[in-house]
């Protein structure tokens, strides 16, 4: 049997070479406040990260648009954050001293974009890319990777509209305001209007942008959350009557 040579006294045994570790590949879905923060955290850990955003803008629901699009969250034109800028700020990026303590949504959107730019997160964002499907590559395995099917919504000539890629981890940062929650009670019907008895205008606060069209109207607001409170204050200045209804 061949013996293993021993290191001479006073010398170190040669170190075993370890193969370089492959960088973990992460996909972040959504480029709002949570998405850009997630990308920043991945970059700080040295991960290979990409962020897919289905719209053509950053900052998520804080980017105001007049257009109502199902599956896309948006604030009202008058929305102001309901916590101070100090309480809402990222710990490593204080807001400008010149901004009001309770920022308008346009200031908040700009702040989020500036944060993403400063951290380098924006460079990892692919706008107008929609993740259509995510599923485990090896279902049931703890160390499974994830297969994503991604759609290019602004497909250039010669490009495939869809592509598939594999990632070690996926972070969902799409928020929870993209789809409206309709209360269920007799006469209201569903969000498509099926089964509706009430003949007046019915809309969800997600579709509300401004008070145009509510002048001198009698308005019933169903709910007592943040959106309901903002609506009651704003419409109280233009409508004939505004009432709020709490549904348990």
CATH code, domain with 190: 3.50.50.60
- Residue 14: the pLDDT is 62
Q: Which pLDDT tens digit goes with each residue over 39-95?
A: 999 999 999 999 999 999 999 999 999 999 988 999 999 999 999 999 999 999 999
- Asked if the structure places residue 2 within a domain, the reply is no
User: pTM of the entire structure?
Assistant: 0.85
Mean pLDDT within 164-192: 88
Mean pLDDT within 137-161: 93
Q: Is the pLDDT of residue 4 over 60?
A: no
Mean pLDDT within 202-223: 95
- Asked if the structure places residue 161 within a domain, the reply is yes
Residues 84 and 185: their CA atoms lie apart, in Å, by 37
Residue 243 sits in which domain range? 180-248
Q: Pick the residue with more confidence: 194 or 108? A: 108
Q: In the chain, pLDDT over 70 holds for what percent of residues?
A: 92
Query: For residue 114, what is the enclosing H or E element?
Result: helix 105-119
Q: Tokens 């049997």 — which residue? A: 1
Cβ-count burial of 6 within 10 angstroms (0-12 exposed, 13-18 middle, 19+ buried)?
Answer: exposed
- Asked if the structure places residue 8 within a domain, the reply is no
- My answer on whether 193 and 240 are in the same domain is yes
Helix axes 105-119, 33-44, angle to 10 degrees: 20
Residues 239 and 6: their CA atoms lie apart, in Å, by 91
How many domains does one find in the chain?
Answer: 2
Q: Which pLDDT tens digit goes with each residue over 228-240?
A: 999 999 999 999 9
Range name among 36-40, 43-47, 200-204 with the lowest pLDDT average: 200-204
- My answer on whether 158 and 186 are in the same domain is no
- Asked if the structure places residue 19 within a domain, the reply is no
Average pLDDT taken over every residue of the chain: 91
Mean pLDDT within 184-199: 78
């Amino acid at each position: 049997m061949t013996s293993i040579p021993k290191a001479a006294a006073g010398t170190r045994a040669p170190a075993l070479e370890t193969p370089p570790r492959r960088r973990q590949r992460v996909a972040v879905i959504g480029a709002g406040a949570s998405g850009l923060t997630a990308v920043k955290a991945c970059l700080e850990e040295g991960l290979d990260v990409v962020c897919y955003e289905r719209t053509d803008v950053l900052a998520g629901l804080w980017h105001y648009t007049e257009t109502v699009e199902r599956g896309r969250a948006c604030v009202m034109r008058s929305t102001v954050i309901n916590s101070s800028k100090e309480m809402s700020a990222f710990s490593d990026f204080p807001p400008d001293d010149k901004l009001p303590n309770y920022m308008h949504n346009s200031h908040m959107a700009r702040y989020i974009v500036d944060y993403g730019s400063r951290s380098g997160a924006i460079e990892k964002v692919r706008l107008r890319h929609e993740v259509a499907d995510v599923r485990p590559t090896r279902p049931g395995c703890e160390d499974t990777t994830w297969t994503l099917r991604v759609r290019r919504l602004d497909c250039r000539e010669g490009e495939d509209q869809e592509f598939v890629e594999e990632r070690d981890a996926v972070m969902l940062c799409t928020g929870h305001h993209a789809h409206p929650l309709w209360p269920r009670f007799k006469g209201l019907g569903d969000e498509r209007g099926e089964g509706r008895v009430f003949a007046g205008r019915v809309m969800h606060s997600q579709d509300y942008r401004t008070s145009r069209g509510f002048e001198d109207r009698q308005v019933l607001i169903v709910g007592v959350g943040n959106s309901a409170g903002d609506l009651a204050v704003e419409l109280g200045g233009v409508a004939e009557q505004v009432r709020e209804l709490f549904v348990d």
